[in-house]
Amino acid sequence: MNARDEKEKMTVKNYKKYYIEIDCAIFNLQEDGLKVLVVKDIDDLGVTHWRLAHDWLKKDKTILETASGILKRCIGENSSYLEQVKAFGFTSSYSIKEDISIGYYALVRIISNDLEKHIAEGHTKWIGINETSCLNDKDTVILNYCIQEIRDSICKTAIGFNLLPEKFTLAQIIHLYKEILGIDIDKSNFRRKILATGLLSDLYEKEENVSHRAARFYKLSLQHQEILLNKELNFHF
């Protein structure tokens, strides 16, 4: 098929144009586990639904810009990690065509005032990644795919640190891996592994006002752009 044929075919009725949705699973690590942001959606019948953050592709905006826009709208400007997972196709009862949605996930650490306001007003909430019964099938599929991607990635790259503050203790890293992978982690062995990567810089600072031995603070010894590319990790759980 040559370019001319292609152009002809594009004008033929059997090729279809699509609205493309971007669905973004926005994750935040909290004391009691990994959370995902859901936004309130009230349908024509007045019934409340909770959905992943989403938008549709606009003219003059790229896929990535649209995903960034969703993230910015929900949690404000910050240095979150944003990654596409794949395109999903969902058949619906409304149309013969599949609904096309491109799935993204974001790992965020900073919670903005705007977000806190939206949560206070009930427009938005964090739900545990295992308490997703409020979501529809489509969002559940996308969410679970994102979680699996994150599980794979945090064992190979340093992206998980996007869920931690700039300075953190080893216990916080262990919490991160434990909550995301859903497994128990041996403190001693994990410490050896993570320190052996050379990924961490000791800040020679300690926790204060804790009623037990104070933990050291570390920071990532990578620049932000390096975190994305870093493939130094090789954890096998």
- Amino acid present at 111: I
Q: How many angstroms separate the most distant Cα atoms in the chain?
A: 75
How many whole angstroms separate alpha carbon 24 and alpha carbon 100?
A: 14
Smallest distance, DNA to C-beta of residue 180, A = 16
203 binds DNA (CB under 7 A): no
State the number of binding residues for its own copies (CB under 8 A): 43
How many whole angstroms separate alpha carbon 234 and alpha carbon 226?
A: 16
Among its own copies, DNA, none, residue 42 binds (CB under 5-8 Å by kind): its own copies
Alpha-carbon distances of 134 from 4, 196, 231, rounded to whole Å: 49, 42, 36
Given a contact cutoff of 8 angstroms between Cβ atoms, the answer to whether 186 and 177 are in contact is no
Among its own copies, DNA, none, residue 43 binds (CB under 5-8 Å by kind): its own copies
Looking at 135-143, 145-153, 209-217, 221-229, which segment touches DNA (CB under 7 A)? 209-217
Please classify residue 100 by burial: count the beta carbons closer than 10 Å to its beta carbon, then call 0-12 exposed, 13-18 middle and 19+ buried: middle
Smallest distance, its own copies to C-beta of residue 16, A = 4
197 binds DNA (CB under 7 A): no
Query: Contacting DNA (CB under 7 A), which of 61, 151, 216, 219?
Result: 216
The SS3 call for residue 195 is: helix
Given a contact cutoff of 8 angstroms between Cβ atoms, the answer to whether 24 and 52 are in contact is yes
214 binds DNA (CB under 7 A): yes
Touching DNA, residues 137-196 (CB under 7 A):
169-171, 186-189, 191-193
Smallest distance, DNA to C-beta of residue 102, A = 34
Q: Which residues bind DNA (CB under 7 A)?
A: 169-171, 186-189, 191-193, 206, 208-216, 234-237
